[in-house]
Amino acid sequence: MESLGQRIARLRRQNQLSQGALADKCGWEKGQARIGNYERDLREPNITDLRMLANALGVSLMELIEGSEDRQNSLECDASSPSKEDYALIPQYSALGAAGNGRLNDHVEVKGGLVFKRAWLSRMALREKNLHVIYAQGHSMEPTISDGDVVLLDQSQIEPRDGRIYLIRRHGGELIIKRLIQGVTGGWIIRSDNDDKRNFPDQPISETDIDNLQIIGRIVWHGGAL
């Protein structure tokens, strides 16, 4: 099975580009080593880099992530398959957001993606470029989010809102999925949905601390809108 790096290299050769020339088209100064690392699967491009690579190689983001032009053409021609006009492919990453005590992600890979109706994204006021799919791990957010669930993350929503669920980065770099609750007398609470408060206690946080909290984005879907 062709890896993402192998696909980048194949498309680059098809466009008769050197690694340096492709880096130049992406606007990356001295980026030949960067392209080389991507092609050897030594480094995983983030979503911004993937979009720039797709544009420079003359392919769609879906084609770059998922496969060959022939595969994409067959998808468009098959009436029973989702079309690019009606559906958006949201990249799915191997990153784990802990619904528990925290999770470090030293290495993140693109693992294909999930397809969502563009009409639904529009109704939810979600923009494709801001969305990523990741995995949840742990039991602290049950029954809302279960261990192993995939969740849809909107990285444009980083302002805390009462009752919403967010992906939060702790000071040590750990990622957690928690609900933010605004206190009646001020301040906030980082809360797990699990009723077992002995193992998953509330974490009070002051107004000052909430301003310094690194919110990666809001969880907006896990098989249903949140």
Q: Please enumerate, as own/partner, the contacts of 80-83 that have beta carbons within 8 Å and a separation of 24 or more.
A: 82/115
- Return the number of other C-beta atoms located less than 10 Å from residue 36's C-beta: 16
All CATH 2.10.109.10 domain ranges of the chain, comma separated, are 87-221
Fold of 4-77: 434 Repressor (Amino-terminal Domain) (1.10.260)
CATH 1.10.260.40 placement within the chain: 4-77
pLDDT in tens, 119-146: 889 988 999 989 988 888 888 998 888 8
10 Å Cβ neighbour count for 183? 13
For domain 87-221, the CATH superfamily is Umud Fragment, subunit A (2.10.109.10)
**pLDDT per residue as tens digits for the range 37-60:** 989 888 878 777 888 898 899 888
Quick: pLDDT tens for 80-121: 455 677 888 888 776 555 555 544 444 445 566 788 888 889
